Structure 1
Amino acid sequence: MDMNKNVSGFFITVNFKTKQYEVKLQPSSTCNDLYLAVSQKIRKSIDRITLQTIESSTQKYCNIPQNSEKIEKFKIHSKTQLQLIDKGAQINYRFSFILEYIGPIIVWSLLIAFRNTIYTNILKHPSCPSLSSFQKMVAAFWIFNFLKRVYESIFVHKFSRKTKQLSEIFLSVPYYYGYALLVGLSILSPKYKQPSNIFIVVGFAIFFFGMMMNGYCHMYLSNLRKDPSSKQAHPIPSSWPFRLVVCPNYMFEILTWIGFNIATQTLAGLAFNITGMIPMYMWAVEKRARYVSEHPDYPKNKSLIIPFIG
């Protein structure tokens, strides 16, 4: 009977809140097999659970990745006890990006469509002349930038995870929609004053350079990550922008909006730029830590977003 057990597999214990679940595995099982077995056992989506094991040397919990690595690498064997973390309700990563980036397009389109009503009836401007050529150009550039983002979200980006926490969009969606409204109200206003030509030319040159290079980084990362579920889900990028900083895509996105603000010069646009830098910095810290954990030779103090600055 013991021989049959050894041949047919072994059981581990998964602790979740006050309950314990016995899950059967094979010696050849992968981490993906482990997550699938646990998900079926506890009847929760595989996307919302994280499994942890205790590191014997430090006695600290260590996350087990969802990939094709063998469970033996994490010393999972008969009588192993794992801790389960329920990450809560999830939303598809790709859909969440589309939801975020479509908002600024819709907001500006509505501001333009109902501009006369908004400024004369609601904001009580005495008059609302037609948009100037410059205002039309800025609106076109704003919408083009976010159309690019929507296109990338659908056709370019590859995600190492299928989902993220639903609660995250309650921060990101108000950020994009709210700032789209504030920036749009400032630039499309009848009282808006166009900056001098030198600022417009320099600003939009930086804007398009940043947007082009940001797109290049996204395409490069997409081509680099052929199989998001493999062991090499986060291979080290070697293209020249990635030799400068950990996340050049963030660097060029920030540069894009610096250029936009040089050309348009509104407080709302400046606030949009500065506020957006905060989560990008945090994401860059997480990405550097992930690179270091997966690739021990990766520089631990490599600049995150701005070259030569940690």
Structure 2
Amino acid sequence: MKEILSLDHVSYTYESEDGESRKAIDDVSFTVWDGEWIAIVGHNGSGKSTLAKMMIGLLFPEEGSVNVFLEKLDAENIWDIRSRIGIVFQNPDNQFVGSTVQDDVAFALENNGVPFEQMVPRVHESLAQVNMAGFLDHEPHHLSGGQKQRVAIAGALAMQPKLLILDEATSMLDPQGRDEVIKVVDDLKRTTGLTVISITHDLEEVLLADKVIVMNDGKLMLTGKPEEIFAHGEELEAIGLDLPFASRLSRYLRQAGVEIQGEHTTEEELVNELWTSHFNK
């Protein structure tokens, strides 16, 4: 497998106006491989947003190194590396610069000097990938939150990135909008092999990830597959994270004396076990 991004013993400290210091990132290391979906979760102040800034060069670590596409990220290569990364931020309203959907998706292409004859098919293709092909001439402020984020993802995809970073991209959306965005990202990952890093505090969002990284007080607390992470339910709740509904219900059933095997992360898994083990006898 090809390495896409790695953090090697990185640390970062914020200095406040009153002279006090706070270590936002403390000796964190991990690697992201080609085609993986990595979810980075943690409560507010856990360090995940600082990690996101270091991944795209908005901050440079005081200790350790950030390596993207096998290059150490620094001031000299930052623009070249950023051109190969798609980034979608928290508030979709802050990302629009065009008067129509197609103008907005084309904006980054124009800034990077992509010829018009290449630009048009790339705009159409990227909008089709996020199921927004029918909204070419719509004004962005008339779209729902989920549609706006899908257009933002299309704008990132039009640049043909090797890596897509979602920085709290669903946190301001209603449940329907959040589901729309998550489904689009899952479809893209499965059909194109795109590498995805999703930074979030919503544990429902990480169920489709290949690997989860849990941050707490600037440190890497846990890492593993979603089902491995959710097995630490009490630890996750202790640091302020909400478990998926199926995980919480599984624990309540165990406490009530119902025998539950394994760690269930979806309602379907839990219902299937209850039906097979307890009702279909």
* Shorter-chain TM-score tier: under 0.3
Instruction: Tell which has more relative contact order, 1 or 2 (C-alpha 8 A, sep 6+).
Output: 2
- What TM-score does the superposition give when structure 1 sets the normalisation length? 0.24
Higher normalized strand content (fraction of residues)? 2
Q: Rg larger in 1 or in 2?
A: 1
TM-score, structure 2 as length reference: 0.26
- Greater share of helix residues, 1 or 2? 1
